[in-house]
Chain A
Amino acid sequence: MKKKVLGLLLAATMSIGMLAGCGGSGSADTSASTDTAATTEEAAPAADTSSEEAAPAAAASGEGKTYALVTKSAGNAFMELLGQGFKEAVEASGGTAIIKDPASATADAQISEISSLISQGVDSILVAANDENALQAVLQEASDAGIKILTVDSDVAANSRAVFVNQASTELIGQTLLDACYDIAGGEGQYAILSATSQATNQNAWIEAMKAAAEADSKYANLELVEVAYGDDEPQKSTDQTQALLEKYPDLKVICAPTTVGIAAAAKVLQDSGSSVKLTGLGLPSEMVEYIGEDDAHSCPYMYLWNMIDLGNLAGYTSVALVNGDLTGAVGDTYEAGSMGTFEVVDVNGATQVILGNPFKFDASNVQEWADKGM
């Protein structure tokens, strides 16, 4: 009896070992197609750099260097495009890209990923932060290990990173979104905001900018913000929140969703129910193509976004420049971002940033074209 149990257990141990081993090679295969992780070949140089790191090497290009990106979470189309652009730029510079997608959109999950990257001795870590403050300790640890830290899309406290690669200035996005609401509502009436999580740094900054812009000009006086709802970037919760808004505010004219998950969920709710409430915000063309149009059959007249692939590209080139030493992150620094031209570090409210450009307007005339590009 005892022998039998022991035998079974040994078999279990072996099978688990094999299982884990299979998982390892299996994912290395899938990573090549999904771009979610480094391939087998890429992992090897990642390890080598840890030993080189001690030497103050300053190669001219990204040759032999490893640049990492920690996204907000897996399964986010927005982040996948960012990753795609990042990978392109890094590989064009001769470097190796590692892209880590945390299992959930939390700071906790990002800490584990960053911690693992420190072990691997990467040269730079680019983070789209899930929480402004919670990453401070682990980023400090990474800095101490000689790793360059930068942020993209969603920032952390300015002293935790060298530079923030911003898609467009916060004020400009706030102003643009408010103008869209004003225009669609016809200059007066109620509007609501459907955001992501209540602690998403970028969302909160844009909402604040919208409020500030509304106060700054008396022409927005008849436009009333009734509620900021949080759909947590989950399709189901965003749907529920949209329905709740419609029930609570029968006079609602416009919903503004500055998040790609939220706007897609809200667009479906509004269009399916034939509601007269209109929608605008920030959305992905590929997800919104069937909802965009001027007539009553469509829920969203127009929306905005920036080119996420470009943003990823810029973030990739910025990573390379930081590691090379072409860029220190100080205000006024300029550097070449590959084919994208020259960029300059600017100061926005005491935080150093590189700004990609203006938000881009998607309406019925161009949304199909951009959706076909895979955006």
Chain B
Amino acid sequence: MAGKSGREISAVPEGGLKEKLLTWEGALILIFVAVNILGVIISPVYNATNVLREMPKYLAEAFMVFGMGYILVLGDIDISVGSIVCLSATMACFAGNAGLPFGVVVLVCVLTGLCCGMFNGLIATKFTELPTMIVTLGTQIVFRGIAEVSLGSGGSISMQNTEGLSLIAKKIGPFPISFFVLLIFAIVFITLLSKTTFGRKLYAIGSNQTAAKYAGINVQGSRFFCFSLLGFLSGVSALFLLSTLYGANTTTGNGFEMEVIAMCVFGGIATTGGKGNLIGGFIAAFIIFCLKIALGQRNINTQLILVIIGLMLIVSVVIPGLGSYFGAKKKSTTK
């Protein structure tokens, strides 16, 4: 049913679709404001300084939202990103501890991510009959496995020379560097998806892969690109995560995949493909971060925070569904 409604919506004229998306993002901004007001009400120490200070650890995750958004728009999914983060961070630590200059460490981190992403893309495009959920479930285990094997019995490695890492953990004014990098990435990837023909092709593939193929779109090429991109962004995430962790262990990045998918879905990107917008995912990421920070400052126990975020997610998926449900009902009665 979800797939059906997705297809129906993509057939609606441009104006209607845009209007609907705009209202969802408008709602997200409202929710963002509401969460911040809530934060100020429930926590006396919820202010700009503290939120920005607690933000870097969360910001690292947000990089993956863009890549995951692309993958979801394509109608695919990638659940290996947490493991890619773990492997990239581990390799970066090995490179750093081998005495390589920090520039090389950054390269190792990002390229490890890229290679993992390309590997995902290769399998997903060569064996198109396999669901990507299963492909990336496999690579999730493989990537973390490689990290665990290289970490050995200790299961943990720390960066001996933290000079470079503390450099990227620095702040410009009250804002961490990762915030600016994230903004630049946001502008690039949001524009790429919403304003270019490449972006429109992704929506076309997500709406109907077969139709897109016969319309002359390089479906497998685009999928490969998006998987590689997500791998690359996971590497970037790993780098910024390292700047808060100063090391890696076998549990690094555990559960990131689900958090990132949650941000995208909350942002209005449908897992069925062809629907949604990165701006939504970007705002949703910040809603979740701010909510976590506010509830954390109020010393609410962490399981309950997860329950609240889970419920928010369900509500966000159900509400647009209700809209189209009533819409469809109205249509059928007028007929």
Q: Give me the interface of A with B, judged by CB distance under 8 Å.
A: 1-2, 4-6, 8-10, 12-13, 15-17, 19-21, 23-24, 26-28, 30-31, 34, 36-38, 43-44, 46-47, 50, 74, 98, 100-109, 111-113, 115-116, 118-121, 130-134, 136-138, 197-199, 204, 228
Is B42's beta carbon under 8 Å from chain A? Answer: yes
B302 and A102 contact, CB distance less than 8 A = yes
- How many residue pairs bridge A and B at CB < 8 Å? 192
Chain B residues whose C-beta falls within 8 Å of the C-beta of A74 in the assembled complex:
301-303
A373, B20: Cα distance in complex, Å: 61
The minimal Cβ–Cβ distance linking B163 to chain A, given in whole angstroms, is 13
A198 and B154 contact, CB distance less than 8 A = yes
Given contacts A8-B323, A23-B304, A108-B254, 17 further A-B contacts (CB under 8 A): A9-B27, A17-B34, A19-B312, A20-B295, A20-B312, A46-B299, A50-B45, A74-B301, A98-B299, A104-B255, A108-B252, A112-B57, A120-B45, A134-B248, A134-B249, A137-B245, A198-B153
Q: Give me the interface of B with A, judged by CB distance under 8 Å.
A: 19-20, 23-24, 26-27, 30-31, 34-35, 37-38, 41-46, 50, 53-54, 57-58, 153-158, 162, 166, 169, 243-255, 291-293, 295-308, 311-312, 315-316, 319, 322-323, 326-327
The minimal Cβ–Cβ distance linking A3 to chain B, given in whole angstroms, is 10
B246 and A133 contact, CB distance less than 8 A = yes
A44, B249: Cα distance in complex, Å: 36
A131, B7: Cα distance in complex, Å: 48
Please list 22 pairs of residues, one from A and one from B, whose beta carbons are closer than 8 Å in the complex, sorted by A's number: A4-B326, A9-B30, A9-B319, A10-B27, A12-B316, A16-B31, A20-B38, A24-B300, A37-B301, A46-B299, A100-B302, A105-B251, A106-B249, A106-B252, A112-B58, A112-B296, A113-B296, A115-B53, A120-B45, A134-B249, A137-B166, A137-B244
B299 and A37 contact, CB distance less than 8 A = yes
A276, B37: Cα distance in complex, Å: 62
Closest residue of A by beta carbon distance from B37: A17
A27, B327: Cα distance in complex, Å: 38
A23, B20: Cα distance in complex, Å: 30
The minimal Cβ–Cβ distance linking B315 to chain A, given in whole angstroms, is 6
A199 and B303 contact, CB distance less than 8 A = no
B316 and A27 contact, CB distance less than 8 A = no
A204, B306: Cα distance in complex, Å: 31
A34, B27: Cα distance in complex, Å: 36
A199 and B156 contact, CB distance less than 8 A = yes
A136, B255: Cα distance in complex, Å: 22
B244 and A111 contact, CB distance less than 8 A = yes
**A13-B27, A16-B315 as given contacts; A5 in contact with B156, CB under 8 Å:** no
Closest residue of B by beta carbon distance from A137: B246
